[in-house]
Structure 1
């Protein structure tokens, strides 16, 4: 018995450690995304989020002034300027791309016959020549600088004040709420029939539902859109509601059917003996007992539809009046998608509503997912 108890204790520790590692695996990237949403654009491009609380090194180059900027001081022609901006601190500098950190602040070097270049610790440079300068483009000075940590709320201000975001938020709610409720209503009836009603072909229908789970929605987008156009639905809210309903039904039916199969048979049989109709059993017994499974699917469907861009683009359109939030945020990132600070900020803004839904219903999630697998047949 002691050995069995010891084995059980070890197994519990293994499970707890694995659960902790999984949580950590998801939390670290989320933390990085959150930190990046407050970082300056230049710092995001030059250092990772884990370096955001320490000074970061940046490399680059600036050009000196040209002969038009030169002034004569005694027998020398002088061009002056500064290679740093803001609160940058110069670490090293150079005059060639092969060795951009060759010199230390305060050093002087000769870059051409008689041309002397000095770059000081404060970033100021002085280029001198005994003869007039003849250059249309300034000389390049490569710099290595340290920049202190910089955080800003400007990223959030830019996203939250973006043109059309409020309208897009309402469009997303208009799409998401019906596209979550309609599949639940249809799937609940279908799941009850597959779980508790005897009729020919029930096993085939159940197998078909399982098979539809692996069909990628991308293969049906264009045929479904053509069907909508042929029957007069076109692009609009009705079309996208029906599309999301069709894409979500296989998972909904499968999840709810597995859960309903595990409900106590005695309760249902007793209700039938007492003269209850199938609809009364479904409404008064099955639905209340199946609420955890209904909530589990509602969470999945809400998250999927809220974060969707592909289906919304195909079935709703790309005009300013039709864009959902993911469409507006995509436009903010630009055509090349290189504005990482906007991406990080948009991610946290867009997950605000799904997080509220998840935490409001998360107590039903695990129970709804696992109950069918434990009890079901």
Structure 2
């Protein structure tokens, strides 16, 4: 019996799909958008495991194919030279050359690093010669002795096989202060997510079910605050913090200060989402509770909060992601001290003043999004439900 019902339902679904070509277009469009949004993340993930030198010469879509790289190698030290047929000779394998790679071209001067094909004889100064083979073997000759404490430079272009490594992650995770910055980010993000949710939930209930003078004006004010740029209020708010801090003899740049800042910046959206959701709850439930003698606080705690969990989870995701990835507010209200840097600030410091370690950016991105991804996948089933419920009112 159950199999017959399943078969009937499947046949009905197939007939409906045939009748509606638009559904196919919709499904293909959604699939296309998902793939389009996934590509950058996939590229970032692949790049985070690639070798630094290969990142500089090829894109992530070429990660499985060999790439050409221009490299400066060195011969053996001059004390390894031998005198052969009246010429001083250095020979061996170019230092740093990987046996799995292949040399394509070479040169002995930086002006012409690819002037010669492998296995050809390059003429050098003092009637010297240089020969390089594809497997990294070289022979350098000169009529006068080689001098110096280091080997002579050899410029060559090699075909490098794909390389995947964990070095980028090791460098990020082993960097000094990364653990403290991770704790700092959690210290900022968790209270800055919980506090605005609590305040906004109370405000949303009041604006939905309590009789207040000027309630419509307050709702319009909240909607208007949604479009106020955060950057406009940073300096005035910091000046206010400094004034209050100097009055009480305390520093303005504290965790409590940044919690209040994130709370103020996140409240308009929180109140807007929660108010629309709470206002859409069945009126009969509220009236029945009041008939049974419940006051507003009891109704809010025992009825509104449990029913509003999808909306609360939706805003929690947005607020957590925004605060965790924030750098501007954390820099302004917490500072750049060694013990105050959040994770985004620490990762910025790893790049150096001139961005010299740019190859760790991809690994840093995945290190920083590990916690937000965990929060998102934990609460994502409530996200769409909460947003849709709060958007139709």
TM-score range relative to shorter protein: 0.7 to 0.9
Say if 2:340 is the partner of 1:313: no
User: Aligned partners of 1:153, 1:81: CA distance in 2, in Å?
Assistant: 31
2:28 paired residue number: 17
CA shift for structure 1 position 127: 3.1
Change (3 A) 1:170 1:96: closer
Say if 2:173 is the partner of 1:160: yes
1:286 paired residue number: 304
User: Aligned partners of 2:88, 2:384: CA distance in 1, in Å?
Assistant: 77
Counterpart among 77, 98, 101 of residue 86 in structure 1 = 98
Give the number of aligned pairs.
Answer: 372
Say if 2:312 is the partner of 1:300: no
CA contact (8 A) 2:277 2:308 kept: yes
Change (3 A) 1:165 1:98: closer
CA RMSD in angstroms comes to 2.9
Say if 2:274 is the partner of 1:256: yes
TM-score by length of 1: 0.88
Q: Which ranges of structure 1 fall in alignment gaps of 5 or more residues?
A: none
Counterpart among 183, 204, 207 of residue 217 in structure 2 = 204
Say if 2:246 is the partner of 1:235: no
1:45 paired residue number: 56
How do residues 1-377 of structure 1 correspond to structure 2 at under 5 angstroms?
9-62=20-73, 71-80=82-91, 82-83=93-94, 85-87=97-99, 88-94=101-107, 100-111=113-124, 114-130=127-143, 141-232=154-245, 234-374=252-392, 376=393
User: Aligned partners of 1:114, 1:209: CA distance in 2, in Å?
Assistant: 83
User: Aligned partners of 2:109, 2:145: CA distance in 1, in Å?
Assistant: 23
Query: In the TM superposition, what whole-angstrom CA distance separates every residue of 1:122-144 from its partner, at most 9, and x where no partner exists?
Result: 22333334466799999864421
Change (3 A) 1:130 1:11: same
User: Aligned partners of 2:232, 2:258: CA distance in 1, in Å?
Assistant: 16
User: Aligned partners of 2:263, 2:242: CA distance in 1, in Å?
Assistant: 18
User: Aligned partners of 2:54, 2:253: CA distance in 1, in Å?
Assistant: 42
Query: In the TM superposition, what whole-angstrom CA distance separates every residue of 1:260-280 from its partner, at most 9, and x where no partner exists?
Result: 122112322333344432222
CA contact (8 A) 1:209 1:253 kept: yes
SS of 1:109 mapped into structure 2: strand
User: Aligned partners of 2:18, 2:208: CA distance in 1, in Å?
Assistant: 38
User: Aligned partners of 1:296, 1:260: CA distance in 2, in Å?
Assistant: 13
CA contact (8 A) 2:185 2:324 kept: yes
CA shift for structure 1 position 168: 1.9
Change (3 A) 1:81 1:235: same
TM-score by length of 2: 0.84
CA contact (8 A) 2:17 2:23 kept: no
Query: In the TM superposition, what whole-angstrom CA distance separates every residue of 1:305-360 from its partner, at most 9, and x where no partner exists?
Result: 11212111111122222122222222222222342432222221222221221111
Change (3 A) 1:314 1:55: same
SS of 2:391 mapped into structure 1: helix
User: Aligned partners of 1:20, 1:153: CA distance in 2, in Å?
Assistant: 32
User: Aligned partners of 1:170, 1:61: CA distance in 2, in Å?
Assistant: 42
SS of 1:181 mapped into structure 2: helix
Query: Structure 1 stretch 6-15 or stretch 43-52: which is displaced more?
Result: 6-15
CA contact (8 A) 2:107 2:154 kept: yes
CA contact (8 A) 2:107 2:122 kept: no
CA shift for structure 1 position 8: 6.9
SS of 2:135 mapped into structure 1: coil
